[in-house]
Structures are given as structure tokens and as C-alpha cells.
């Protein structure tokens, strides 16, 4: 049974889901376990334990310098001096960007990692898929088949969610409702629209418009808009084509347990989106950089480097939820579509008679550019919308939205010059800006 709640209420009033190891607080040994941070709110109460109903042991003011020594679920344990410690929520303080790339910068704050199996280590190589490698990579058909083999259906994912105690909730989102309304409107197909163009072409011919009119009609033919059904069909075709090129650059990680895990968690969260019927498919690629990719049609790939940072299912769900937002919003697909529209303008200027038709443009784009579209910078609004979507989907799936905040904090701790975040920094807004945006959305 679903319960109706608001996103704002979910963010602040739902009981925090604590995902700790069997021993409780998880921390790295030694002084390198400490991580500098500053208080991010006007006033923050420090509790004796990781819960609001524990005793208050101190109150800190905005910009007070603190040191984090451990993480338990969605709480940080602080060193208060004189041998005293206390707990604050992960969004009460803000991590300081690490100033250099060193083993300590990659490990000291990541008290939990490898999806709950211990703190992240430096054993993973940082190969770093970049735009050129995605452009050059060949399509890995066997890899796509293997990836699809891990796919689970909604019922299986729901059963797993029940076994984990994840309860779906209804969270309304105005932006999503407007998108759904636009997609549900009746739309003419390209074939139907082209019948009108054919009539117009015949009329121009009778009027003696000649070659100029014929060229203009070909440009118009290419520019004909697609119906929702046609767009969806094209996405489904593009998804495995683009994901297969990613796998050509970095293969699926040889870890069956992890692959099954991300599909169970991912499919459950995907069921809470406005497009639950896509053939959602998830995979972890064997690449050490911290990144993730969302191909059209429901194909989502996480790097091993990012997976290694994640503490538990909530953080896995948080990363996936952001990528789900990109697919639901058709962000990368729209990059291809914009190139198509730009091509129409070139046709007008160059009077190209043999330009490819609109229906074949997307496939032609992938043939020429590979999966490089996934490495293109989306506008900041698209990234902020995906961040907001992550919170919505997490709340609907029974997770606390602060899990996404925790993931961004971990990335911040790796530093602005971390080799593991090179491509992520190139294609996304600064992490502190994204955290600020989440704070603003939570206060609305």
C-alpha cells in the first residue's frame, strides 16, 4: 500500500534509515580517518548517538570547523575535543574539498565503501573512459547480451524490496506530471505528417516552384516532428546500441553478485519513475574512475570506481536514481535530437538533396560518434533536475533522500584534482553547487 507524503516532508521528517555494519560505526584506523568539514547551518545540535532522540551534547554555529571521524548511516561522528564525540546529520556539515591527489585524500573520509564491504582502497586502477575512447570503441554484442541477462522484472524487484523492508510511498512531483501530460496527448506520426507534405509538394510543382521548392520540401520532410510513440521506439533502439559501445571501451565487471545487486536495486527504484515500463537494465563496468552513464531507453552503467565508494543499497539507489532522471527526461537523447534539428538548418543553407531522413538520423549519429554523447556536458538545469529526481525516486522507493547527499559529500572529499573524478568534473556542475541546490530545494 502506498502512503501519500510530500518531498519536503520526506527529506526532513521521515525517520532516517541507518545503514550501519554489524559492528555499528564504521571508521578507518589511524589519524588519516579524520576529515575536515564546516558547519553548514545557522545552528546544529550535536547528539550523543546517531538518532534525534539521544541527548544533546553540544550546539555548533555556522562555519564552525569540525573534524569527522566516522560515519554511521546518514550521520557523521565528530571529534569535539577533550576526548568527547557526538553525532550530526550528513547535511548539517559540508565536507571540505581535498586539496591534492594522494592515497589519504581517497580514503580518509570514505569510512564505508565497496557497497558495504569495507572502506575503499587504492587497489582499483584509474583508467578513465573519456570522450575519445567512447567514440572509437566498437560495439560489444556479447557484453550487451550478458548485461541484459542480469535484467530483472518489476515483480522480482518488488519481492526483493519487500524482503529488505523497502516500502513504496507516493510522492507527487509537479514537473513530472507536466511531462506525463505532454506524452499522453494524441500525436500524428511522421507518416501522417508527410502525407500533408506530399500534397504541398504537388501544389508547389503545379505552381512552377522548381528546384528551390523541391529542396525546401526535402528539408521540411527531414524536420517533421516525431510522435511520442516514435520517440520511445527510437530510444529503445538507441539504448543497447550506445550501451554496447560503452562496453566496448570498458567491459562489465566480472562480479555476478554486484551485477545482480544493482539490477535488483535499480529496477525497484525505476519502478517509481514516470516510465516504469522501459526495459531497465543496469551494469557495473570495469573502470576505476568515479562516474556513471545513462543511455536512452533505460540502460544505466556504473563504474567500478564509483561502486567501490558506495556504502550500502541506499547509496547504490541514490546513484542510480540520478541516472534514472536523465533517462526519464531524455537528456542525452535530446542532445542527439538537437544535432538533428541543427542539421536541418545546414540543409537549408547548403540545399542538400541527399541528407538522411529524420528517422535514420539518430542511428547515423551513433554510427559516427559512438557513445561519446554520454560524455557531452548537459546544461546545468538538466543535472539539477536529475539531482532533484534522485530525491523523489529515493523517497518513493522507501529510502531516505539524504543518501544522495551522502554520495555527493563523498565525492567532494576526493578533491577537485582527484584523477578519479576527472570526467565527472568536466561534465557536471561543481559538487558544492549541487549540494547548495539540494539544500534550496529541501527548504521549499
Find the CATH number of the domain harbouring 55.
2.30.30.40
Check whether residue 308 and residue 380 sit in a common domain: yes
Measure the CA–CA gap between 68 and 33, rounded to whole angstroms.
8
Domain for residue 365, yes or no?
Answer: no
The proportion of the chain whose per-residue pLDDT surpasses 70, expressed as a percent, equals 59
Check whether residue 290 and residue 212 sit in a common domain: no
Q: What pLDDT was estimated at residue 236?
A: 86
Judge contact between 126 and 419, C-beta under 8 A.
yes
Domain for residue 121, yes or no?
Answer: no
Confidence class of residue 131 from pLDDT cuts 50, 70 and 90?
low
Q: What is the pLDDT of residues 194-204, one digit of tens each?
A: 444 445 445 54
Measure the CA–CA gap between 401 and 420, rounded to whole angstroms.
25
Domain for residue 304, yes or no?
Answer: yes
Of 307, 323, 356, the position where a domain reaches its end is: 356
β-pairing verdict for 4-5 and 170-171: parallel
Check whether residue 139 and residue 213 sit in a common domain: no
Domain for residue 12, yes or no?
Answer: no
Measure the CA–CA gap between 343 and 359, rounded to whole angstroms.
13
Domain for residue 210, yes or no?
Answer: yes
Strand ranges in 289-430 using DSSP code E only, listed in sequence order: 292-295, 299-303
State how far the alpha carbon of 386 is from the alpha carbons of 222, 323, 403, in Å: 31, 7, 15
Confidence class of residue 219 from pLDDT cuts 50, 70 and 90?
very low
Judge contact between 121 and 104, C-beta under 8 A.
no
Check whether residue 318 and residue 384 sit in a common domain: yes
Domain for residue 299, yes or no?
Answer: yes
In this model, does residue 241 exceed pLDDT 60?
yes
Q: What pLDDT was estimated at residue 332?
A: 72
374 Cβ partners below 8 Å, 6+ apart? Answer: 134, 242, 246, 293, 294, 295, 332
Domain for residue 11, yes or no?
Answer: no
How many residues appear in the chain?
A: 444
Check whether residue 327 and residue 342 sit in a common domain: no
Check whether residue 435 and residue 318 sit in a common domain: yes
In this model, does residue 15 exceed pLDDT 60?
no
Check whether residue 244 and residue 350 sit in a common domain: no
Among 17-21, 357-361, 371-375, 409-413, the least confident range: 17-21
In this model, does residue 250 exceed pLDDT 80?
yes
CB atoms inside a 10 Å sphere around CB 209:
15
State how far the alpha carbon of 322 is from the alpha carbons of 17, 21, 144, 173, in Å: 19, 25, 22, 15
One DSSP character per residue, 73-96 reads TTEEEEEEETTEEEEEETTTEEEP
Measure the CA–CA gap between 245 and 260, rounded to whole angstroms.
21
Domain for residue 3, yes or no?
Answer: no
Check whether residue 86 and residue 157 sit in a common domain: no
Check whether residue 297 and residue 158 sit in a common domain: yes
Judge contact between 311 and 116, C-beta under 8 A.
yes
Q: Bridge-partner residues for 81, per DSSP? A: 84
Count of domains forming the chain: 3
Measure the CA–CA gap between 328 and 273, rounded to whole angstroms.
8
Measure the CA–CA gap between 135 and 184, rounded to whole angstroms.
35
Check whether residue 297 and residue 400 sit in a common domain: yes
The 8-class DSSP code of residue 99 comes to: S
Q: Global pTM? A: 0.76
Judge contact between 298 and 243, C-beta under 8 A.
no
Of 323, 356, 389, the position where a domain reaches its end is: 356
Check whether residue 279 and residue 249 sit in a common domain: yes
Of 356, 389, 420, the position where a domain reaches its end is: 356
In this model, does residue 223 exceed pLDDT 50?
no
Check whether residue 260 and residue 291 sit in a common domain: yes
- Mean pLDDT calculated for residue range 359-377: 61
Q: What pLDDT was estimated at residue 164?
A: 97
**Pick from 176, 90, 191, 123: nearest CA to 385:** 176
Measure the CA–CA gap between 8 and 39, rounded to whole angstroms.
22
Q: Where in the sequence is the domain holding 322, given as residue range(s)?
A: 131-179+229-333+372-443
Amino acid at each position: 500500500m502506498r502512503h501519500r507524503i510530500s518531498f519536503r516532508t520526506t527529506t526532513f521528517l521521515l525517520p532516517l534509515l541507518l545503514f550501519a555494519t554489524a559492528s555499528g560505526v564504521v571508521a578507518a584506523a589511524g589519524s588519516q580517518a579524520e576529515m575536515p568539514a564546516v558547519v553548514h547551518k545557522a545552528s546544529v545540535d550535536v547528539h550523543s548517538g546517531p538518532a534525534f532522540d539521544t541527548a544533546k551534547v553540544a550546539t555548533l554555529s555556522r562555519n564552525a570547523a569540525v573534524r569527522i571521524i566516522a560515519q554511521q548511516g546518514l550521520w557523521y561522528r565528530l571529534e569535539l575535543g577533550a576526548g568527547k564525540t557526538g553525532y550530526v546529520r550528513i547535511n548539517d556539515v559540508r565536507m571540505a574539498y581535498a586539496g591534492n591527489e594522494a592515497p589519504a585524500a581517497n580514503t580518509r573520509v570514505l569510512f564505508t565503501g565497496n557497497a558495504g564491504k569495507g572502506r575503499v582502497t587504492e587497489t582499483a586502477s584509474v583508467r578513465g573512459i573519456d570522450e575519445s575512447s567512447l567514440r572509437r570503441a566498437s560495439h560489444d554484442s556479447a557484453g550487451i547480451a550478458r548485461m541484459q541477462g542480469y535484467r530483472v522484472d518489476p515483480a522480482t524487484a518488488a519481492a526483493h524490496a519487500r524482503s529488505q523492508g523497502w516500502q513504496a510511498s507516493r510522492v507527487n512531483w509537479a514537473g513530472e506530471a507536466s511531462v506525463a501530460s505532454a506524452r499522453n496527448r494524441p500525436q500524428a506520426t511522421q507518416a501522417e505528417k508527410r502525407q500533408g507534405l506530399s500534397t504541398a509538394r504537388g501544389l508547389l510543382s503545379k505552381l512552377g516552384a522548381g528546384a528551390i521548392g523541391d529542396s525546401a520540401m526535402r528539408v521540411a520532410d527531414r524536420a517533421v516532428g516525431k510522435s511520442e510513440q516514435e520517440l520511445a521506439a527510437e530510444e529503445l533502439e538507441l539504448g543497447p546500441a550506445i550501451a554496447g559501445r560503452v562496453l566496448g571501451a570498458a567491459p562489465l565487471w566480472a562480479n555476478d553478485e554486484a551485477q545482480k545487486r544493482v539490477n535488483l536495486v535499480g529496477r525497484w527504484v525505476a519502478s517509481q519513475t514516470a516510465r516504469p515500463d522501459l526495459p531497465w537494465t543496469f551494469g557495473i563496468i570495469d573502470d576505476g574512475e568515479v562516474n556513471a552513464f545513462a543511455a536512452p531507453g533505460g540502460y544505466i552503467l556504473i563504474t567500478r570506481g564509483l561502486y567501490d565508494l558506495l556504502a550500502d543499497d541506499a547509496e547504490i539507489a541514490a546513484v542510480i536514481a540520478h541516472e534514472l532522471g536523465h533517462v526519464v527526461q531524455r537528456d542525452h537523447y535530446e542532445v542527439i535530437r538537437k544535432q538533428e534539428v541543427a542539421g536541418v538548418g545546414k540543409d537549408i543553407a547548403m540545399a542538400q538533396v541527399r541528407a538522411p531522413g529524420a528517422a535514420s538520423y539518430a542511428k547515423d549519429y551513433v554510427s559516427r560518434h559512438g557513445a561519446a554523447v554520454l560524455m557531452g556536458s548537459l546544461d546545468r538545469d538538466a543535472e539539477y533536475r536529475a539531482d532533484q529526481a534522485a530525491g523523489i525516486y529515493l523517497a518513493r522507493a522507501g529510502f531516505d533522500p539524504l543518501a544522495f547527499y551522502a554520495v555527493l559529500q563523498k565525492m567532494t572529499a576526493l578533491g577537485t584534482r582527484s584523477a578519479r573524478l576527472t570526467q565527472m568534473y568536466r561534465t557536471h556542475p561543481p559538487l558544492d553547487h549541487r549540494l547548495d541546490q539540494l539544500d534550496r530545494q529541501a527548504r521549499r
